[in-house]
């Protein structure tokens, strides 16, 4: 290893995690009303109806796949009867399909944001940076999967990248494991660290919240402007309410 390896795979992960945690605490404390996706559905919905489900369902499978591959050790899956060949086949097939869906959905969303005038006007520099980094992470991850496991002879990231990932959270980072990983996997991992570092300051914060308050908040009463059948004929314009 050299100084660059230590910087990339020891220092950078802890900087990204620190910014990720403290950034969310700061954002929630000082920008609680800005903790939103800033939905643009009211401006355009046709492309959104296609791109949004593709992206969200694809990214959900990608996240679950990363949790299973990075967090769960190989020995655990083998202990329950899942062979390495079976795991590898399922991971590559599902990962590739999910990655393609995620990338296709993101391309549609970026195209919509660039070509629909009101949506583009509502796009901030922060949004542009977030979309660029997110697209880079997805493209590099998909390229690493295709290059190593479909075009190449295969690469067992659960023997190198996964132990490095777990060692970071155990505060015993094994940078030498990432130092020997293929360049595409290194680029994908580092771009993910950059994404986590900017995450608290983008619209991605909405992924860490759920609208649980809707379950307990009071009902909102809406009154129709249309004439309704009743015992009393509707008045014309404003009419003062009789008080006892």
- Average pLDDT of the chain, as a whole number: 87
Considering 29-33, 35-39, 136-140, 234-238, the range whose residues carry the highest mean pLDDT is 136-140
Output 208 or 7, whichever has higher pLDDT.
7
- Provide the pLDDT for residue 136: 96
Q: Is the four-CA dihedral 189, 194, 195, 200 of positive or negative sign?
A: positive
Taking the CA atoms of residue 194, residue 87, residue 60 and residue 214 in that order, the dihedral angle to the nearest 10 degrees is -120
Q: Is the pLDDT of residue 222 over 80?
A: no
Determine which helix (DSSP H) or strand (DSSP E) holds 58, and give its type and residue range.
helix 46-70
Residue 163 neighbours by CB under 8 Å, 6+ apart? 174, 177
Distance CA 184, CA 181 (A): 8
Q: Is the pLDDT of residue 76 over 60?
A: yes
Q: Is the pLDDT of residue 143 over 60?
A: yes
pLDDT tens sequence across 25-56: 999 898 888 888 888 888 888 999 999 999 99
Read off the pLDDT of each residue in 7-27 and give the average, rounded to a whole number. 96
- Model pTM score: 0.83
- Intra-chain end-to-end CA distance of the chain, in Å: 86
Q: Is the pLDDT of residue 236 over 70?
A: no
- Provide the pLDDT for residue 226: 60
Q: Is the four-CA dihedral 170, 172, 177, 178 of positive or negative sign?
A: positive
Distance CA 16, CA 217 (A): 36
């Amino acid at each position: 290893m050299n100084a660059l390896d230590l910087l990339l795979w020891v220092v950078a992960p802890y900087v990204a995690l620190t910014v990720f945690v403290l950034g969310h605490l700061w954002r929630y404390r000082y920008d609680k009303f800005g903790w939103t996706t800033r939905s643009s559905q009211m401006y355009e919905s046709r492309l959104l109806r296609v791109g949004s489900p593709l992206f969200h369902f694809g990214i959900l499978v990608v996240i679950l796949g990363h949790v299973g591959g990075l967090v769960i050790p190989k020995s655990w899956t083998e202990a329950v009867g899942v062979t390495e060949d079976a795991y590898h086949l399922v991971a590559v097939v599902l990962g590739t399909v999910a990655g393609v869906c995620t990338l296709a959905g993101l391309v549609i969303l970026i195209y919509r944001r660039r070509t629909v005038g009101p949506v583009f006007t509502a796009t901030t520099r922060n949004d542009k940076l977030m979309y660029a980094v997110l697209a880079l992470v997805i493209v590099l991850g998909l390229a690493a999967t295709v290059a190593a496991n479909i075009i190449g002879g295969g690469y067992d990231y659960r023997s190198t990248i996964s132990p490095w990932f777990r060692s970071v959270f155990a505060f015993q980072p094994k940078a030498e494991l990432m130092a020997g990983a293929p360049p595409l996997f290194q680029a994908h991992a580092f771009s993910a660290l950059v994404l986590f570092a900017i995450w608290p300051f983008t619209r991605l914060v909405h992924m860490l919240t759920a609208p649980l308050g809707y379950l307990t908040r009071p009902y909102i009463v809406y009154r129709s402007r249309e004439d309704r059948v009743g015992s009393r004929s509707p008045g014309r314009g404003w009419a003062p309410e009789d008080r006892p």
